[in-house]
Amino acid sequence: MTAQIIDGKALAADLRSSVKDVVAQIKAEHGVIPGLAVVLVGNDPASEVYVRSKGKQTVEAGMNSFEYRLSEDTSEEELLNLITRLNSDPEVHGILVQLPLPAHLDSKLVINAIDPHKDVDGFHTTNVGMVGTGQDAIVPCTPRGCMMMLAQIYPDLRGKTALVIGHSNIVGKPMGRLLLNADCTVIVAHKSSTNIPELARMADIVVVAAGVPGLVKAEWIKPGATVIDVGINRIPAPERGEGKTRLVGDVCFDEVSEVAGAITPVPGGVGPMTIACLLANTLSACCHLHSFPEPTLLGV
């Protein structure tokens, strides 16, 4: 069997184009332009790349992008002051603080200072609690993107056995909660789990967000299962020339795609969906803040 490749790049382009249509409609009807503020503290090169890409795609969707680049030694007070200003700025509908923050800043405190209605990452304790209890709330971008990709394969997720590998607050835990809300039977594994290959062989759906290249092997996968690879790892690629690198996920893609029914590639899988969902969340936040009807995008 050769797995169907779930094309995140194409699906993300569809999502961005439906966001763009609704943005144009809101602008025409109400004169409101959704705005996203991205805050980057320090100069981590990888974060720099993501922030630039987010800003570009925000503008391409017809929204306003506000970027704040603060120095590595910014104090917690300065950062909290900026968030307070953004919370009360009517042109800002979404606020994203790029993680990780430098070690001297308390990310829980900083994230919880964001107005939950503007927390387009869905990391605020209020949004986490609401998603955890099955209430409408802002859903974290990466898990939301994974759910949209799963919807391409399964019209109904009820009763599917799902394994999530990784239990971070930004990917694994919210992913497990969304799958549970969709009535999957959910297992969430992590470094202390002792029998992941065995658990994986029971799963119809495997979502891996561990940050370990080559973690998931073909013999772990039940034939026909769907494999969602969230991992983003930059590894040396001497075959491309000295000092060159390439991006890989957490899945041994070539061998797993011989067994799985469907699989997401890296790059071009979950990553582009994450950014498209950020735009979708910003649009939804704008609609909510202005009491416009919730836009229907790709249905998740």
Ligand X SMILES: Nc1nc(=O)c2c([nH]1)NC[C@@H]1CN(c3ccc(C(=O)N[C@@H](CCC(=O)O)C(=O)O)cc3)C=[N+]21
- Catalytic sites, residue numbers: 54, 98, 121
Beta bridge partners of 251: 216
Contact 260, 3 (CB under 8 A): yes
Q: Which is nearer to ligand NDP, 143 or 287 (CB)?
A: 143
Q: Please state the closest distance from residue 256 (CB atom) to ligand NDP, in A.
A: 16
Whether residue 168 is annotated as binding a ligand: the answer is: yes
b/e map of 95-113 (b: 16 or more CB within 10 Å)? Answer: bbbbeebeeebeeeebbbb
Binding partner of residue 211 among ligand X, ligand NDP, none, CB cut-off 5 to 8 Å per kind? ligand NDP
Contact 171, 208 (CB under 8 A): no
Binding partner of residue 225 among ligand X, ligand NDP, none, CB cut-off 5 to 8 Å per kind? none
Contact 274, 141 (CB under 8 A): yes
Positions touching ligand X (CB under 6 A) are: 49-50, 96-99, 121, 141, 232, 247, 266-268, 271-272, 274-275
- Of 298, 286, 293, residue with least CA distance to 37: 286
Whether residue 261 is annotated as binding a ligand: the answer is: no
Helical H runs in the chain?
Answer: 8-30, 45-60, 76-87, 107-111, 125-132, 141-153, 172-181, 196-201, 253-256, 270-289
Whether residue 284 is annotated as binding a ligand: the answer is: no
String of DSSP letters for 164-218: EE---TTTHHHHHHHHHHTT-EEEEE-TT-S-HHHHHHT-SEEEE-S--TT-B-G
Q: Which is nearer to ligand NDP, 89 or 255 (CB)?
A: 255
Whether residue 17 is annotated as binding a ligand: the answer is: no
Positions touching ligand NDP (CB under 6 A) are: 142, 165-168, 170-172, 189-192, 196, 209-212, 215, 230-233, 270-271, 274
Q: Please state the closest distance from residue 27 (CB atom) to ligand X, in A.
A: 26
Q: Which is nearer to ligand X, 30 or 52 (CB)?
A: 52
Q: Please state the closest distance from residue 285 (CB atom) to ligand X, in A.
A: 15
Q: Please state the closest distance from residue 194 (CB atom) to ligand X, in A.
A: 28
Q: Which is nearer to ligand NDP, 26 or 275 (CB)?
A: 275
Annotated binding site for NADP(+): 166-168, 232
Annotated binding site: 166-168, 232
